[in-house]
Amino acid sequence: MWNTIIAAFVLTAALADLRSRKIPRPLTVAAFITGLVVHWIRGDFWSAAATALLGFAIGLSFFSLGAIGGGDVKLITALGAMLGFGPWTFAMEMTILAAAVMAMVQIIRRRVVKQTFRNVLEILKSWLTGGLHAHPVINVQNPAMVRSPFAVAAAVGTLCALFR
């Protein structure tokens, strides 16, 4: 039953991200709290809480680099609370793989392979000269950039972890 609830959460987040490019805060907050409560009842609260904290720290790092949005940070955190460390780690590995495939498909489909390589070099140059921070133009907040709905990749990764 718990896996079904997690699957429903992540699929709802993916659908919202596809429709509006936003993951609703009430959805992620409810999932976070529910995850911690369920793990409290099961007796592994501290593992779930630590995983959520790890997810938040990693998500916040990518957010500060302009790689993901705030809703994505909350999604990663909520999944940490719901899944616990082992399943969350596998889910995030599969999520990164799915996100990479989605990005490659979009880059090739839109015929922006050369521009993407130039953008990567520009970001690396910016980091080398000014430190690790979001590039002022090449970031997730710029609607002109090729972007993928992260919650879709997270849904793929989470479903892989739940039903492997």
What average pLDDT values come out for the chain (164 residues) when binned by 10 residues? Answer: 96 96 95 97 95 96 88 96 96 96 91 86 85 77 79 96 92
Look at residue 23 and tell me if it is in a domain: yes
Domain span holding position 62:
2-102+151-162
Q: How many C-beta neighbours within 10 Å does residue 118 have? A: 12
Cα(141)–Cα(46) distance, integer angstroms = 34
pTM of the model: 0.87
One-letter amino acid at 40 equals W
- Total tally of structural domains belonging to the chain: 1
Look at residue 137 and tell me if it is in a domain: no
Following CA atoms 68, 79, 90, 64 in sequence, which dihedral angle do they give, to the nearest 10 degrees?
Answer: 20
Burial class (CB in 10 A: 0-12, 13-18, 19+), 5: middle
Nearest alpha-carbon partner for 72 in 93, 56, 84: 56
